[in-house]
């Protein structure tokens, strides 16, 4: 039994670490509408990269940009990215296959995947882009912080209410028990007094 508990604890810790590392592998970028942005992706070395495929899985078609041998192809590209995307360096020097996305709109918000195919293997990177008007991101953060603080306060008040209820019920219970004990004591004393033999008459 003790061994099973150890195994369960190990699996729980391992799953937490695994989920944490997966979340840390994603890059988050915030930008404003109308601006240009570079989504970073670097893998391999000079001449080592066969192709790079940028996609957004939530779109159909999902293709953002596909490039191979220094040439980019647009036949399957999603219409919203036409004439708005390019590689930062089409020669992919030093393994740089970062994506330049021009004239941003709010609809560009989403998670982008950079899929690099090398001669021997491949690599994937994930970048989440948040496009929002100036101040919106900070306002959202403040609102989220306020909601969190309000939730914590509500939780604390609710906990205080529960604590007061428990204390009140406990006090009532204790008083009730004391009352029962005193009542039984008086009752037995009264019974004992009534059952005593009458004093002898002189």
pTM summary value: 0.56
Cα(202)–Cα(196) distance, integer angstroms? 18
Could you read off the pLDDT of 111-130 as tens digits, one per residue? 999 999 987 788 899 999 99
Q: Which of 3-7, 16-20, 77-81 has the highest mean pLDDT?
A: 77-81
State percent of the chain over pLDDT 70: 60
Calculate the CA 190 to chain-centre distance: 69
Cα(92)–Cα(46) distance, integer angstroms? 7
SS3 8: helix
Could you read off the pLDDT of 50-108 as tens digits, one per residue? 899 999 999 999 999 999 887 899 889 999 999 999 999 888 888 899 999 999 999 99
Token code pair at residue 124: 């994937």
CB 45 within 8 A of CB 94: yes
Calculate the CA 180 to chain-centre distance: 54
């Amino acid at each position: 039994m003790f061994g099973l508990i150890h195994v369960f604890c190990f699996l729980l810790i391992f799953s937490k670490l695994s989920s944490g590392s997966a979340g840390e592998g994603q890059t988050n970028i915030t930008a404003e509408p109308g601006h240009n942005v570079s989504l970073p992706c670097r893998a391999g070395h000079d001449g080592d990269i066969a192709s790079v495929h940028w996609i957004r899985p939530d779109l159909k078609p999902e293709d953002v940009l596909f490039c191979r041998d220094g040439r980019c192809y647009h036949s399957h590209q999603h219409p919203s990215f036409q004439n708005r995307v390019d590689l930062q360096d089409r020669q992919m020097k030093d393994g740089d296959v970062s994506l330049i996305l021009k004239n941003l709109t709010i609809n560009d918000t989403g998670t982008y995947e950079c899929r690099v195919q090398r001669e021997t293997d491949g690599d994937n990177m994930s970048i989440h882009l948040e496009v929002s008007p100036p101040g919106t991101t900070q306002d959202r953060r403040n609102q989220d912080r306020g909601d969190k603080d309000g939730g914590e306060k509500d939780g604390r008040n609710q906990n205080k209410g529960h604590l007061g209820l428990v204390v009140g019920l406990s006090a009532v219970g204790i008083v009730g028990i004391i009352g029962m004990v005193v009542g039984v004591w008086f009752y037995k004393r009264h019974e004992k007094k009534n059952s005593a033999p009458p004093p002898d008459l002189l």
